[in-house]
Amino acid sequence: MALTDDAAHMAGVLAREALGPARDAERRVRATGEELALSALDAVLASSLTAGAVDRIVRSPLIERAVSGLMQGPLVDAIAAALIRDAVLERLSTEIVRAGVPQRVAEGLVAEGVVERSVGRLLSGPELETVVTRALEDPGVERLIVKTLDSERAEVLVGVVADSPGMERMVGRVIDSRLLDTGMAHLLASEELWDMVDEIAQSPAVSDAIAHQSMSFADEMAGEVRTRTRRIDDRLARAARRAFGRRAESGPDVPGGASPA
């Protein structure tokens, strides 16, 4: 049994020794063939014939039909499904943002004056006016404004803004500015203001209020006079009775009344 194994091992060694040169020759031939094929391909690509052929193919309807068939085929759907499934776009946008691409693009647009030209074009064109007009006519905007103004947050915000030192400074500047004086001068010079003042002054509500106020004041004055005169009456009556030693016959000893006898 042991003799048989040794014989087999020896046979294998001899076979490898005999096949080694043949394998080296095979590898050399394969490398040479690959180099020849690549050289031939380079020659084909560099030739004007190939360029002309490619141009003809590109300009031919064949490419258009091929692209159309490709876009209408299931390949595009499969690619889109794969993009969505694997969140390729999200990862791509994350990487883009992380790399600071939007910031660089924005800075580049600003530096090149693109933003300035775009804003100028927007302000001078009719599009902005159309957009604003449509927005103002949209009932949704009205609801949004009403909802915003009704919210507690808006109230708090207005309170904070109104109490802020910045608002105080701004109001102070407005009051100190010539704008207010000019506005007041125009307002006082306008006939509409005085027409409105005349309307208000002649309105029955204002007349009634003034009359009521005058009557209230007159009543108050008369009441005060009455109180004081009745007090003086009592003092005079008491002084007179004391001076002449008389006693009142009847009546209450109350302010404004005779003393009892």
Give residues in contact with another protein (CB under 8 A).
222, 225-226, 229-230, 232-234, 236-237, 240-241, 244, 246, 248-252, 254, 256-258, 260-261
CB of 244 to another protein, least distance (A): 7
Toward another protein, which CB reaches closer, 109 or 248? Answer: 248
Tracing tokens 């969140």 back to the chain, one arrives at 87
CB of 224 to another protein, least distance (A): 12
Residue 54 to residue 43: CA distance in whole angstroms: 15
Residue 99 to residue 87: CA distance in whole angstroms: 18
CB of 215 to another protein, least distance (A): 13
What are the Cα distances from residue 66, in Å, to 61, 70, 141, 204?
A: 8, 6, 49, 88
Q: How many residues does the chain have?
A: 261
Toward another protein, which CB reaches closer, 171 or 236? Answer: 236
For 222, the enclosing helix (H) or strand (E) is: helix 204-244
Cβ distance 252 to 258 under 8 Å? yes
For residue 250, the SS3 value is coil
CB of 249 to another protein, least distance (A): 4
CB of 208 to another protein, least distance (A): 22
CB of 182 to another protein, least distance (A): 51
Toward another protein, which CB reaches closer, 166 or 244? Answer: 244
Residue 250 to residue 259: CA distance in whole angstroms: 7
How would you label 190-225 residue by residue, b for 16+ Cβ within 10 Å and e otherwise? eeeeeeeeeeeeeeeeeeeeeeeeeeeeeeeeeeee
Toward another protein, which CB reaches closer, 109 or 233? Answer: 233
Residue 101 to residue 142: CA distance in whole angstroms: 38
For 261, the enclosing helix (H) or strand (E) is: none
CB of 214 to another protein, least distance (A): 15
Toward another protein, which CB reaches closer, 201 or 239? Answer: 239
Toward another protein, which CB reaches closer, 62 or 236? Answer: 236
Toward another protein, which CB reaches closer, 109 or 238? Answer: 238
For residue 32, the SS3 value is helix
